[in-house]
Structure 1
Amino acid sequence: MCQECSPYAAHLFDAEDPYTPVRHLPGLCLTYCSDFHSKCHSVVKYLTNSRTLLETCEKDRSHFCNLINLSDQDYCYPNVLKNNDLYSSLGKVVEDTKGCLQLCLTEVANGLRNPVLMVHSGDDTHRMFVAEQVGFVWVYLKDGSRLEQPFLDISGEVLTTPWLGDERGFLGLAFHPKYRNSGRFFIYYSILINGKLEKIRISEMKVSAHDMNMADSLSERVLLEIEEPAANHNGGQLLFGLDGYLYIFTGDGGKAGDPFGKFGNSQNRSALLGKVLRIDVDGSSIDGKPYKIPPDNPFLREPDAKPEVYAYGVRNMWRCSVDRGDLLTGYGRGRIFCGDVGQNRYEEVDIIVKGGNYGWRAKEGFECFDMKLCQNTSLDDILPIFAYGHHVGKSVTGGYVYRGCESPNLSGLYIFGDFMSGRLMALKEDKKSGSWKEKNVCMGDTKTCSFPGLINHHHKFIISFAEDEAGELYFLATSYPNAMSPFGTLYKFMDPSR
């Protein structure tokens, strides 16, 4: 559970100056401290390991309270809660004169080869699993340290090259909702068959029975393979919805303009490319498939449609996420957000719904792309919640709705970015109208991000966004988008106004 963080927490700990010694306990007003000591002094040993504080607490209440008191009594607890002058002018966010939401970063990990994703396993271990495009998955512990041995190494199976910008490789990873007990997880990667046939493969694997930080390399069970007619637009997102089903996001097959067939792959419901697929991985079907079809998938009664299809009209959705929902009300819980990469003019952000047609190749963003398809009265497409032109960026990277505890000012904002321009953006929902308004995100200045460990810069090429088990937000970026080059970094967002 989250408790609301005081906007004056830095003052409570006398930490507004980054070069003051770190306090172990907040500043307590003298009267309150005396009462606290009388009733609760026994808990101090659980709050600090400072020998001076512990010894003083046991021997001398007056001296103890003087040690943890603040020179400025406006900020000591509980006075800080009662001062209207401190709270009357507080805003919800900090923006510069140009309306830019200023954030800072911490660098969590570096030296990664095109880190394409970070996910957690949802088992209360707070481990972070970071995947490199070449086929390695690494475990990072809660303290930020990386285990020496990879969780998974399928680099010998994964198809990728040293070509700059090659989109093929290890692309997706999702842990089963009951991973704690089942040890099952799912992967999405590119393969080459007989030296010439390219496919994407979705497989199930299991964790080792002997080591929770290592996959069982012999456990792979292939669920689905789809032929890829070109080297680009490979999709790659895997995620589990609140319904317990596995969602698979495929690209349109590549090249440009979805040139496959009369309507392209994306508008063709008998093709698996250019789709959002939904399958039940907790059983096998009667026709021998290693998964079942959810009984409410939308096109089961359409004779030629693939039963796996959940939504269509997708170009190349690059990074999707499930909204955890408002921490208090649950609003928004279960919504699936995606960034769909555009062709020549627009990038877009979508919310996925069952049976939805997201327009491609009839439309790109809000505009027509294929005039003939666009004018078809049966198109019935779902418009993006947001689209931006290529003067802003040329390859959207989908993000997350922030639902963490550490930066309450960001709560409810959908934060995402652009791979090519390196731009960070945020969308805020107007719940009454259902519309979304853009907020520019920028790095705070040197003074804003002056505390030790904070930085105000990042690599340009934003590959992916992520959240940890507590709901805190991260992103992965590189200075050189090459699958073999170790220039990738994992960053964590920090709101300096929290």
Structure 2
Amino acid sequence: MRAWKRYPLLVLLMLLALLGLAACGGGGGNPGTPGTPTQPPAATTGSLALVASGLPAGVNASVRVSGPAGFQQDLGGSQTLAGLAPGSYNVAAAPVTAGGITYTPTPATQSAVIVAGTTASVTVSYGGAAVNIALSQVAANLDNPTYLTAPPGDSRLFVVERPGRIRIVENGNLMSAPFLDISARVLTAGEGGLLSMAFDPDYARNGYFYLYYTDAQQNIVIERLNTGSNPNLADPTSNLVILRIPHPTYTNHFGGQLAFGPDGNLYLGTGDGGGAGDPFGNGQNLNSLLGKLLRIDVRAASAAQPYAIPAGNPYAGQAGRRPEIWAAGLRNPWRFSFDGAQLYLSDVGQDRREEVNISAATAGGLNYGWNTMEGTLCYNASSCERSGLTLPAFEYEHGSNSVNGCSITGGFVYRGSAIPGLQGRYFYSDYCRGFLKSFLASGTAVGEQREWNVGSIGNVVSFGQDGQGELYVLSARGIAYKIVRSTTP
């Protein structure tokens, strides 16, 4: 007899149990109350998409994005920045020059608001136009001009003359009365003379300015003076000698530049003492102030203590090493200049190479190599050890019969406003060839080299910079020229 007939109740109960298991999915238990679905966390950052257009292939844009909490990033083309904190960001684009054409951005500045979880978009369009420059004469009949400068914002030009005078050009006129005449105490033998001047960063309040010259004993002299009650006349009796550096034997390689750095300290570029090949080994001698870049603090200068040693000078407190030294290994750094946080230092070569060194203004203790190296060439072949040396960012060969030049004249990076297409270009020349050239540096990488068609200048002695950041060229012909825009290629 079948089981369902004999035990109908038992079979029914078994069927009900099987049906219950099937209803539970075979899991054997109550699944409980369904949970709330997991939500992704809320976004806390956003993005910025930059589109840069209008530049030729291979030419980078120049765009800086800055924003909250000191954020800053430079972009060279279209790019999306992610992970940005919410807030307002500034997008500033600078002109770019390539192949003699300057590409101007539109808009030059704009803002973008970053919202968490979203992407903001900005567009920079570049349009090109050729950049050409010319030289405009601003003063003539100068007596061996060696330097030109001005206090920031001042409309006057102060032109240094090698015999010991400083002349003022105001409203296009060379004033007959010199601003200063110390010719009675200046030696002009060889390469000596009144070689440069620098205005105190606080000149508008204290009236101080500083001179670099050679005295009757052939010493290098750094001296402070101040302007008198008449702003066009200095007080020649106000002189305070800051530093006197012996320079015996030879009448060449005096150096000649002094300038205030972005840190407010005074920097001096001294030659190696002269002769050929640094016969006394001053460039590598850290117990000599010759063949060096020096850094001193003159803010509290007095007769009792004319200068102090700034914190961070690399050889301060070291026996047998001069604490004034900031960098070593120089032959004749006739001209150097600061561009924001960077230092451009040109060093005149011996027989084959001229060089420009580019470094961070805060980089102390560098050794530029002379007289072990001349540029990137070994000069002293018996001891050409390059370890620990800083080689130039840019150099050029003299060539046969000095066809390319023989003595570099370093200049400035253009930061004026009259010719936007020149922004960031470093200008230089050569005393022997009288050309006008420039390059654009990114860090220590040099590109966009160009020679400018400005006609005959003669022997270029120095460059200058006025109170608005415009650049000038000084010729041994006794002429000061201003670099201006030209419509002629």
| TM-score over 0.5 for the pair | yes
Cα distance in 2 between the residues matched to 1:284 and 1:206: 13
Whether the 8 Å contact between 1:134 and 1:158 is mirrored in structure 2 is yes
Would you tell me which structure has more strand in proportion to its own residues?
Answer: 2
Whether the 8 Å contact between 1:237 and 1:249 is mirrored in structure 2 is yes
1:152 aligns with 2:180: yes
Correspondence for 2:145: 115
CA change 1:371–1:248 in 2 (3 A) is: same
Among 221, 233, 237, the alignment partner of 1:218 is: 237
Q: Secondary structure at the residue paired with 1:493?
A: strand
Correspondence for 2:274: 254
Correspondence for 1:136: 165
Q: Secondary structure at the residue paired with 1:202?
A: strand
Shift of 1:350: 1.0
1:104-142 C-alpha deviation (Å, 9 max, x unpaired): 1111111111110001022x332110011111101112x
Q: Secondary structure at the residue paired with 1:220?
A: strand
1:303-360 C-alpha deviation (Å, 9 max, x unpaired): 111010001101101111111xxxxxxxxx2312121000000000012431110110
Shift of 1:296: 1.1
Whether the 8 Å contact between 1:465 and 1:476 is mirrored in structure 2 is yes
1:276 aligns with 2:293: yes
Among 384, 387, 392, the alignment partner of 1:384 is: 392
Among 345, 350, 362, the alignment partner of 1:343 is: 350
Whether the 8 Å contact between 1:105 and 1:492 is mirrored in structure 2 is yes
Whether the 8 Å contact between 2:309 and 2:316 is mirrored in structure 1 is no
1:261-284 C-alpha deviation (Å, 9 max, x unpaired): xxx101111100000011010125
CA change 1:89–1:224 in 2 (3 A) is: closer
Correspondence for 1:363: 373
Among 284, 289, 309, the alignment partner of 2:325 is: 309
Whether the 8 Å contact between 2:334 and 2:347 is mirrored in structure 1 is yes
Correspondence for 2:16: none
Cα distance in 1 between the residues matched to 2:408 and 2:467: 24
Whether the 8 Å contact between 2:151 and 2:466 is mirrored in structure 1 is no
CA change 1:334–1:359 in 2 (3 A) is: same
Matching of residues 456-467 of structure 1 within 5 Å:
456-467=454-465
Partner amino acid for 2:178? P
Whether the 8 Å contact between 1:297 and 1:308 is mirrored in structure 2 is yes
Cα distance in 1 between the residues matched to 2:236 and 2:429: 34
Cα distance in 2 between the residues matched to 1:361 and 1:248: 19
Q: Secondary structure at the residue paired with 2:452?
A: strand
Cα distance in 1 between the residues matched to 2:466 and 2:328: 29
Shift of 1:458: 3.5
Shift of 1:430: 3.9
Whether the 8 Å contact between 1:238 and 1:249 is mirrored in structure 2 is yes
Q: Secondary structure at the residue paired with 1:257?
A: coil
Cα distance in 1 between the residues matched to 2:146 and 2:341: 23
Cα distance in 2 between the residues matched to 1:395 and 1:316: 10
CA change 1:374–1:301 in 2 (3 A) is: farther
Whether the 8 Å contact between 1:93 and 1:410 is mirrored in structure 2 is no
Whether the 8 Å contact between 1:188 and 1:203 is mirrored in structure 2 is yes
1:199 aligns with 2:219: yes
Cα distance in 2 between the residues matched to 1:348 and 1:297: 24
Whether the 8 Å contact between 1:103 and 1:441 is mirrored in structure 2 is no
Cα distance in 1 between the residues matched to 2:291 and 2:255: 8
CA change 1:302–1:419 in 2 (3 A) is: same
1:221-257 C-alpha deviation (Å, 9 max, x unpaired): 1111111121000011010011110001100000010
Among 139, 152, 156, the alignment partner of 1:127 is: 156
Matching of residues 28-427 of structure 1 within 5 Å:
90-91=127-128, 93-94=130-131, 102-122=132-152, 124-141=153-170, 143-161=171-189, 166-193=190-217, 198-208=218-228, 210-229=229-248, 230-260=250-280, 264-283=281-300, 288-323=304-339, 333-352=340-359, 353-375=363-385, 379-391=387-399, 392-427=404-439
Structure 1 runs (4+) deviating above 6 angstroms are none
Whether the 8 Å contact between 1:476 and 1:489 is mirrored in structure 2 is yes
Shift of 1:288: 4.7
Shift of 1:144: 1.5
Correspondence for 2:470: 472
Whether the 8 Å contact between 2:149 and 2:159 is mirrored in structure 1 is yes
Q: Secondary structure at the residue paired with 1:131?
A: strand
Whether the 8 Å contact between 2:224 and 2:241 is mirrored in structure 1 is yes
Cα distance in 2 between the residues matched to 1:318 and 1:92: 35
Partner amino acid for 1:381? L
Partner amino acid for 2:478? G
Q: Secondary structure at the residue paired with 1:465?
A: strand
Whether the 8 Å contact between 2:147 and 2:196 is mirrored in structure 1 is yes
What's the RMSD between the two structures over aligned residues? 2.1
Whether the 8 Å contact between 2:435 and 2:457 is mirrored in structure 1 is no
1:336-393 C-alpha deviation (Å, 9 max, x unpaired): 2121000000000012431110110010111110123322x6x411111100000211
Q: Secondary structure at the residue paired with 1:126?
A: coil
TM-score between the two structures when normalised by the length of structure 2: 0.70
Cα distance in 2 between the residues matched to 1:396 and 1:121: 26
Shift of 1:92: 5.5
- Structure number with greater CO (CA < 8 Å, separation at least 6) is 1
Whether the 8 Å contact between 1:365 and 1:384 is mirrored in structure 2 is yes
Q: Secondary structure at the residue paired with 1:251?
A: coil
